[in-house]
Amino acid sequence: MKFNEKVQQTREYLLSRINQCPSIGLVLGSGLGILADEIENSITISYDEIPHFPVSTVTGHKGRIVIGDLKGKHVIAMQGRFHYYEGHSLEAVTYPIRVMKALGVKQIIVTNAAGGINPAFKPGDLMIIQDHINLTSQNPLIGPNEEEFGERFPDMSEAYSKKLSALTKEVAVKEKIKVVEGVYTGVLGPSYETPAEIKFLGIIGASAVGMSTVPEVIVARHCGLEVLGISCISNMAAGISEQSLTHDEVMETTEKIKAQFLQLVKEVIAEM
Ligand code: 6GU
């Protein structure tokens, strides 16, 4: 079946379950899925019910979408995303972005847990993503161009919306939430980086590193979605702090920062 036909079938199915189309999409990273629990008048659909949707496996990811109202906006949230390191193709990893576009979404907020490389960062910081470096040696747009979605050579000169970043900074000041800004580097994982790799990433301009977001943002820009990216700095990367890295530390820090993360994103949505 042709790619766009698949997306249309997924869209038809979701439309049959909802009564209003979302305008904002949320991709919720490790430990940040709780934002979806705040959505009102919500309809929850697990990924395995949705035609052509991949199924998630990593712990801390629920694997469902929640559609409803948040701060006066109609939103669609992915609680649990797909990662390349799980063995999914990049087509699968980015499929939900195409589905959001097909449902009428105009803006997306992508969130993740990331390792801090900028030595001024602290675990628990919220970082507005200014830009990214794709270090995956992969690109989700490889293959015949999906003309229905966008052009062959999409511009990435403003991958992350300056307008939405500025809005987020304003909201953070108003809400007295500390935010930092920086460049997110996307790698494949699943092993964390060595200290030498982190030193290299720092030299090339990375502020933080993680295993998601880049493929989704490439596909989002291809189809013209406006993107806001927020990283929760869950730990410092290898060699930046003495501590060795564990997924448990990532989950513990996100647990602590949850309240501020929720408040920030909700107030931003209110102003979008
Ligand atoms: Cl240190 N590295 C990567 N690749 N992903 C992470 C991380 C580090 N910390 C949280 N996610």
Q: How does pLDDT run across 7-51, given as a tens digit for each residue?
A: 999 999 999 999 889 999 999 987 788 899 999 999 999 998 999
List, for residues 197-247, the tens digit of each pLDDT value: 999 999 999 999 999 999 999 999 999 999 999 999 999 999 997 776 777
The Cα 86–Cα 80 span in angstroms is 12
Burial (0-12, 13-18, 19+ Cβ within 10 Å), 140: buried
CA of 222 to the centre of ligand 1 (A): 26
Q: What is the pTM of this model?
A: 0.93
CA of 224 to the centre of ligand 1 (A): 28
The pLDDT assigned to 11 comes to 96
Residue with tokens 């189309």: 21
Mutate to test the pocket of ligand 1, among 185, 235, 236 (most ligand atoms within 8 A of CB): 235
Amino acid at 115: G
Spatial CA neighbour of 41 closest among 79, 13, 75: 75
Mutate to test the pocket of ligand 1, among 86, 184, 241, 245 (most ligand atoms within 8 A of CB): 245
Q: Please state the ipTM of this predicted complex.
A: 0.98
The Cα 146–Cα 3 span in angstroms is 8
To 10 degrees, what angle do helices 3-17 and 90-102 make? 50
Q: Which domain holds residue 229?
A: 3-271
CA of 203 to the centre of ligand 1 (A): 17
Output the residue whose Cα is nearest ligand 1's atom 10: 114
Is ligand 1 within 6 A of the CB of residue 187? yes
Domain containing residue 248: CATH number: 3.40.50.1580
Active-site residues, by number, are 30, 61, 83, 85-86, 113, 211-212, 235, 247
How many domains is the chain partitioned into structurally?
1
Is ligand 1 within 6 A of the CB of residue 114? yes
